[in-house]
Amino acid sequence: HFRCRSAFKLLEIDEKYRLLKPGLSVIDCGAAPGAWSQVAVQRVNSTGERPDLARGCVFGIDLLHIAPLQGAHFLSNRDVTSPATHAELQELLPQAYADVILSDMAPNATGLRELDHERLVCMCLSLLELAEKLLRPGGSLLCKFWDGVLTHKLREGLTRAFQDVKTVKPKASRKESAELYFLARTFRKT
Ligand code: SAM
């Protein structure tokens, strides 16, 4: 019942690292078609399906249209890197802060591996600005990247902002793909 098999990557990462808990506020960057948001809705209990547990919230953003999903608030046709999107999120988030930022964003691949890598790293670096504005101290960020020459830059940027940064390769990610995730935990707000 997931909209995309990418859901299994997030499920696998979350099983291991327990990022998503009932009551948390989540921003899902590059959310279309919405499979990660489906996982997040369940895990943070944003529909209130479990009345005994705290109720969280999920905000999904994408350049593309995202079909509605119960428990999620989608901002379709928005650019995650745009300050206007950040301002909109700030208005919507409870107490103006998120506990977790997820990003499975990817640019349209040109097939030029180096170029695609650089573009995705730039997008990930822009998440640090989003975090600076909207992530609660102690919060976490999970972002997809394609490995390459700028990977160390991204790791350095994350390491400045978070206490703990790990590289994660979910089994559900095809072996041949250069796709990896950085899991950055315990945000220190500057
Ligand atoms: N995690 C999603 C799921 O489980 O359904 C799949 C995400 S898909 C691999 C990557 C998405 O990132 C695409 O839908 C693309 O439109 C989006 N994207 C790329 N650049 C973006 C940007 N600057 N702002 C918002 N979304 C972006």
Residue 2 domain-assigned (yes or no): no
* Structural domain range at position 28: 7-187
Name the helix (H) or strand (E) containing 27.
Answer: strand 25-29
Take residue 158 and report the two structure tokens written for it. 């994350």
Q: What is the tens place of the pLDDT at every residue in 100-144?
A: 999 999 999 898 999 999 999 999 999 999 999 999 999 999 999
Q: Do the Cβ atoms of 30 and 60 come closer than 8 Å?
A: no
Atom 10 in ligand 1: which residue has the minimum CA distance? 105
Look up 16 and say whether it is catalytic.
no
Strands 162-168 and 25-29: unpaired
Catalytic residue among 9, 21, 144, 169: 144
Residue 77 domain-assigned (yes or no): yes
Residue 34 domain-assigned (yes or no): yes
Answer yes or no: is the ipTM higher than 0.95. Answer: yes
Total domain count, the chain: 1
Q: Tell me which of 41, 105, 121 to substitute to probe ligand 1's pocket, judged by most ligand atoms within 8 Å of the beta carbon.
A: 105
Q: What is the tens place of the pLDDT at every residue in 135-185?
A: 999 999 999 999 999 999 999 999 999 999 999 999 888 766 789 999 999
Residue 1 domain-assigned (yes or no): no
Residue 72 domain-assigned (yes or no): yes
Q: Do the Cβ atoms of 159 and 185 come closer than 8 Å?
A: no
CA of 14 from ligand 1 middle (Å) equals: 19
Residue 85 domain-assigned (yes or no): yes
Residue 136 domain-assigned (yes or no): yes
Q: What is the domain-level CATH number for residue 56? A: 3.40.50.150
Q: Do the Cβ atoms of 134 and 92 come closer than 8 Å?
A: no
CA of 15 from ligand 1 middle (Å) equals: 23
